[in-house]
Each structure stands twice: as C-alpha cells, then as structure tokens.
Amino acid sequence: MGVPLVVGQQPVDVLVVEDDDALREAMVDVLRLENYDAVGAANGDEALAILREGRLPHVIFLDLGMPVMDGWEFCRVLQASPNLAEIPIAIVSALSEPRRLPDRKRDAGLFRKPVDLDLLLGTARSFCR
C-alpha cells in the first residue's frame, strides 16, 4: 500500500511521532531551537497524514506504544511504500529492552525514555546536515 504524495510541499528535517504531548512538544521545541524544521504527530495515523502532504523528513523519531496507529503498524506501512521505506527511523521507547523492534530498512537508533536531548540533537545532526 503506497502513500500518495502531494507534489510541491516542503520537506521537513525531523518528524517526531509521540503520543505524550509534553514529550513530543519538548522534543520538537528543542529541535526547533537548534534551527531544525521539526513537526510532531500524536500517532502513526497523524504522521502518515504529514507524509501524504509530501513533507518527507530526513529522520523520524518514533514511539512504539501509541493509540490509533502504533509504531509497529506505522513501520509496516512505511516498509510497504518504496518512497518512504528509506527514511531513517529512531525508535523511542520507555522499555529498557523492547522485546522486539519493528522491521525497518534504515535504522537511526534506539532512544530510551526519558530522551537524552544531546543524543536527540546528535542524531538529527547526523541525518539532516
């Protein structure tokens, strides 16, 4: 199942997909303070809507446990879309050792909550610049 894109939209540097409003907003704010074009989504479905607009990020920070569409399903949809499968994904998880991780072609790391903001910025820097 491909995700149709709208031509002509500006891409973003970073997409943060996290259902915890405070954490998502903090991550986006920190990224923006460092001059990254960052946007947030509360679940995989909202993130797909952003991608459908043609706003393809250089890297996605993805929570696994979310309502509506969780991180595993979001990864399955991305893997099935040739134009999206190559976007690097950094998994963000409260679990110290997730029992399994979603299949993904481009791995940008595993972040444990609470998120280390220096690691967040270092990862953004390595994929965006």
pLDDT digits 0-9 by tens, 34-90: 999 999 999 999 999 999 888 899 999 999 888 898 888 998 899 888 888 889 999
Euclidean distance between CA atoms 82 and 124, whole angstroms: 22
Global pTM?
Answer: 0.85
pLDDT at 17 (0 to 100): 97
Summary mean pLDDT of the chain: 84
Greatest mean pLDDT among 37-46, 96-105, 108-117 lies in: 37-46
Q: Which domains does the chain have, with CATH numbers?
A: 14-128 (3.40.50.2300)
pLDDT, residue 45, reads 95
pLDDT of residue 106: 63
| Single-letter residue type at 102 | P
Q: Give the C-alpha separation, 38 to 29, whole Å.
A: 8
Which of helix, strand or coil describes residue 61?
A: strand
